A and B are shown apart, each in its own frame.
Chain A
């Protein structure tokens, strides 16, 4: 069974940093692209970042470019999101999601999300 479990969400002050993790199991993690998608309270889904299966290629939404870094450790079956210079508008539930990659371009399995409140 495919499982994605996010962790690391915590209250952080504006300007602070945080690292989220997404532990994967039930599939060959190193064969899949992975994404982070977030959802502010009461708002819609927003894609924020993608990493290729080997970690060599990453893309970001403009709203987080230069502040957030996506990475992965295929030996540990874990995806990360390093978030710096956090703003109140980054407050959201952060989901990781799996993608089959080239010529698929969709999110087939999702984690349950981890909440990141950014507040003073």
Chain B
């Protein structure tokens, strides 16, 4: 069974830069997995940040950027702000026609 891995928690200072990653329990993440990233605050629906590896969704600030770093997908937040404190989820599309979310990363801004 495919497992998508994310850091359970990360922290960043206000104004700092942080990179969240999204890997596979077996193998490397590539653009063929169409990685996308979502932000969620408690009690709210997820908000789409990036898709197709590195395309920013409409209305998302350019301090959020997606990429492939090594064998993982990555979401980099530059110039972190207090309201970036949220849970972040990546999801990968599998050729079998299913999608698999990572376990999520809780980002603290302090």
Chain A residues proximal to chain B, CB less than 8 Å? 35, 37, 44-47, 50, 59-62, 95, 104-113
Q: How far is the CA of A13 from the CA of B102 in the complex (A)?
A: 29
Q: How far is the CA of A47 from the CA of B38 in the complex (A)?
A: 13
* A111 partner, pick from B40, B45, B51, beta carbons under 8 A: B45
Q: How far is the CA of A59 from the CA of B45 in the complex (A)?
A: 23
Closest to B105 in A: A44
Contact residues of A: prevailing secondary structure:
loop
Closest to B103 in A: A44
B21-29, B70-78, B89-97: which lies at the interface: B89-97
Chain B residues proximal to chain A, CB less than 8 Å? 1, 34, 36, 38, 40, 45-48, 51-52, 57, 87, 89, 91, 93, 96-104
Q: Contacts A35-B99, A45-B101, A113-B45 given: A106-B36 contact, CB under 8 Å?
A: yes
* Other contacts beyond A44-B104, A108-B48, A108-B57: 18, CB < 8 A: A35-B99, A44-B103, A45-B46, A45-B91, A45-B101, A45-B104, A46-B101, A47-B98, A47-B101, A60-B98, A61-B98, A95-B46, A105-B36, A105-B52, A106-B51, A107-B36, A107-B38, A108-B51
Instruction: State whether A50 touches B99 (Cβ < 8 A).
Output: yes
Q: Contacts A45-B89, A59-B97, A104-B34 given: A110-B51 contact, CB under 8 Å?
A: no
Instruction: State whether B103 touches A104 (Cβ < 8 A).
Output: no
Instruction: State whether A106 touches B97 (Cβ < 8 A).
Output: no
